Structure 1
Amino acid sequence: MTKRVMIVDDAAFMRMKLKDILQKNGYEVVAEAQNGIEAIEKYKAEKPDLVTMDITMPEMDGVEALKGIKAFDPASRVVMCSAMGQQGMVMDAIRSGAVDFIVKPFDTDRVIKALDKAAL
């Protein structure tokens, strides 16, 4: 069964890059959001199997959005995306329920491994 994914990142280029990687590896991208507020709204509407969540975004960051999604659906599967040097925020995200994290710039093998693991 194809896994349905929502991509959350404030940078359109990063969403496009991640969408390309996921679609080429058998994932279906069902929604995209550019900030945490949008992410929570779209999660409730689409109920994707997996979410890739950027940590640093305007309006509401990824850790707060993760908490909002977890409050709505404790079984949600969220993989955080971070730039180098955001270890503190990554640890907050893991403590808040993220299942894994991937580092930008994206490495295709690492992205797919993280999402395959999160999908279990």
Structure 2
Amino acid sequence: MNAPLHILLLDDDPFMLDLLQDMLHSLGDFHVQAATAARDALAVLPGFRPGLLICDLSLPEMDGIEFLRAVASQGYAGDVILLSGMDSGVLRAAQLLATAQGLRIVGACGKPLARSELAGLLARVQGTA
């Protein structure tokens, strides 16, 4: 039996974190850790070792792009799903920048993220799609 996928959520909106956690738990057996600040997520990253990072782009103090740059510099080798309430052009630009940093982006999604879209992305991450 495979160990549950470790997923690190980063969003400054506690309601969005709760919504994502509820969706993830309804979709499978995942070990989920959530952070509302990029610096907290960076501190958790080495010990938690997530296979998937779900990251909002619009964050206070350190934005999502800066966070992803820091994640890449730590050698993060897992998958990334980008979230944003901004327009699709911002998501595409962030996806290109993150990919250029060596990160593996499996999705760049608008908020709120639909449960069916999350399910499809998880299937890709787990190799079942």
Relative to the length of structure 2, the TM-score reads 0.82
CA contact (8 A) 2:8 2:54 kept: yes
Counterpart for residue 60 of structure 1: 62
Instruction: Evaluate the alpha carbon distance shift between residue 116 and residue 94 of structure 1 in structure 2; reply closer, same or farther with a 3 A threshold.
Output: same
Residue 92 of structure 1, CA deviation: 3.2
Q: How many residues align?
A: 119
**Structure 1 unaligned spans of 5+:** none
SS in 1 for 2:62: coil
Q: 4+ residue runs of structure 1 moved beyond 2 angstroms?
A: none
- In structure 1, what residue type is equivalent to 2:40? E
Q: 1:15 aligns with which of 14, 17, 31?
A: 17
Residue 74 of structure 1 deviates from its aligned partner by: 4.2
| Closer/same/farther in 2, CA of residues 27 and 84 from structure 1, 3 Å limit | farther
CA RMSD after TM alignment? 1.7
Q: TM-score, normalised by structure 1?
A: 0.87
Identity %: 25
1-10 or 29-38, which deviates more:
29-38
SS of the aligned residue for 1:99 comes to strand
Q: Could you report, residue by residue, the CA deviation over 1:60-115 in whole angstroms, capped at 9, with x for unpaired residues?
A: 11111111112112412111111141522x22332213331222112100011123
User: Cα–Cα, structure 1 residues 59 and 84, in superposed 2: closer, same or farther, change >3 Å?
Assistant: closer
